Amino acid sequence: MTANADRGTWSSKMGFILAGAGSAIGLGNIWRFPMITGQYGGAAFVMVYLGSVFLLSLAVLIAELSLGRATQRNPVGMYNALAPGTAWKLFGVLGVLTGWGISSFYSVVAGWTFGYIFKTAAGAFNNLGPDEIASAFTNFISNPVASIGLHAVFMCLTMLILFGGVKEGIERWSKILMPLLFFILIFLVVRSVTLDGAEKGLSFYLLPQWDHLSLRGVAAAIGQAFFSLSIGMGTMITYGSYLSKKENLISSARWVAVLDTSVALLAGLAIMPAIFAFGLDPQIGAGLIFVVLPNVFNEIFLGNLFGTGFFILLAIAAITSLISIVEVPAAYFIDELKMSRKKAVTISGGGAFLAGIPAALNGNFLDWMNIIFGQYSLIIGSLGVSLFVGWKWGTAKVAAELRAGNPNFKSDKTYAFFIRFFAPVCITLLLIFVVAFPGLF
Ligand code: TRP
Q: What is the mean pLDDT of residues 120-130?
A: 96
* Per-residue pLDDT, 433: 85
Tell me how far the alpha carbon of residue 407 lies from the centroid of ligand 1, in angstroms: 30
Res. 164 pLDDT band, cuts 50 70 90: confident
For residues 322 and 303, the answer to whether their CB atoms sit within 8 Å is no
> Side-chain half-sphere of 65: how many Cα atoms within 13 Å?
29
Which of 126-135, 171-180, 240-249 is predicted with the least confidence, judged by mean pLDDT?
A: 171-180
For residues 339 and 162, the answer to whether their CB atoms sit within 8 Å is no
Alpha carbon of 325 to those of 26, 76, 108, 406: distances in Å?
A: 12, 15, 14, 28
- Mean pLDDT across the chain, nearest whole number? 92
Q: What is the DSSP string of 91-128?
A: HHHHHHHHHHHHHHHHHHHHHHHHHHHHHHHTTTTTT-
Percent of the chain with pLDDT over 70: 93
- Pocket lining: 24 vs ligand 1, CB cutoff 6 Å: yes
Please count the other Cβ atoms lying within 10 Å of the Cβ belonging to residue 274: 27
Res. 232 pLDDT band, cuts 50 70 90: very high
Tell me how far the alpha carbon of residue 321 lies from the centroid of ligand 1, in angstroms: 6
- Pocket lining: 27 vs ligand 1, CB cutoff 6 Å: yes
* Per-residue pLDDT, 227: 98
Res. 436 pLDDT band, cuts 50 70 90: confident
AA letter at 340: S
Mutate to test the pocket of ligand 1, among 29, 97, 235, 332 (most ligand atoms within 8 A of CB): 235
* Per-residue pLDDT, 244: 82
Residue 260 CA: nearest ligand 1 atom is 4
What is the enclosing helix (H) or strand (E) of 215?
helix 215-228
Q: Which residue has the higher pLDDT, 367 or 17?
A: 367
For residues 300 and 191, the answer to whether their CB atoms sit within 8 Å is yes
Q: Of 162, 130, 98, which is closest to residue 355 (Cα–Cα)?
A: 98
Q: Which CATH code fits 13-436?
A: 1.20.1740.10
Q: What is the mean pLDDT of residues 195-199?
A: 95
Tell me how far the alpha carbon of residue 396 lies from the centroid of ligand 1, in angstroms: 29
* Per-residue pLDDT, 172: 66
Res. 174 pLDDT band, cuts 50 70 90: low
* Per-residue pLDDT, 10: 63
Residue 322 CA: nearest ligand 1 atom is 7
3 pLDDT exceeds 60? no
Q: What is the DSSP string of 357-423?
A: HHHHH-HHHHHHHHHIIIIIHHHHHHHHHHHIIIIII-HHHHHHHHHHT-TT---HHHHHHIIIIIH
Res. 239 pLDDT band, cuts 50 70 90: confident
Total residue count of the chain as it appears in this document: 441
Which of 43-47, 78-82, 309-313, 412-416 is predicted with the least confidence, judged by mean pLDDT?
A: 309-313
Which of 15-24, 150-159, 348-357 is predicted with the least confidence, judged by mean pLDDT?
A: 15-24
Tell me how far the alpha carbon of residue 213 lies from the centroid of ligand 1, in angstroms: 24
Please count the other Cβ atoms lying within 10 Å of the Cβ belonging to residue 197: 12
Alpha carbon of 48 to those of 41, 53, 216, 220: distances in Å?
A: 12, 9, 12, 10
Please count the other Cβ atoms lying within 10 Å of the Cβ belonging to residue 93: 14
173 pLDDT exceeds 70? no
pTM, rounded to two decimals: 0.94
Kindly report, residue by residue over 262-320, the tens digit of the pLDDT. Answer: 999 999 999 999 999 999 999 999 999 999 999 999 999 889 999 998 999 899 899 98
Tell me how far the alpha carbon of residue 299 lies from the centroid of ligand 1, in angstroms: 31
Q: Which residue has the higher pLDDT, 10 or 355?
A: 355
What is the enclosing helix (H) or strand (E) of 312?
helix 303-336
87: helix, strand or coil: coil
- Pocket lining: 26 vs ligand 1, CB cutoff 6 Å: yes
Kindly report, residue by residue over 374-407, the tens digit of the pLDDT. Answer: 999 999 999 999 999 999 999 999 999 999 989 9
End-to-end, the C-alpha distance of the chain in Å comes to 49
Q: Which residue has the higher pLDDT, 146 or 183?
A: 146
Residues ≥6 apart with Cβ < 8 Å to 62 = 249, 250, 253, 402, 415, 419
Burial class (CB in 10 A: 0-12, 13-18, 19+), 196: exposed
Q: Which residue ranges make up each domain of the chain? A: 13-436
Please count the other Cβ atoms lying within 10 Å of the Cβ belonging to residue 180: 14
Closest protein CA for atom 4 of ligand 1: 28
Res. 18 pLDDT band, cuts 50 70 90: confident
Backbone angles phi, psi at 279, to 5 degrees: 70, 30
* Per-residue pLDDT, 144: 96
* Per-residue pLDDT, 11: 64
Res. 437 pLDDT band, cuts 50 70 90: confident
* Per-residue pLDDT, 22: 86
Distance CA 103, CA 351 (A): 10
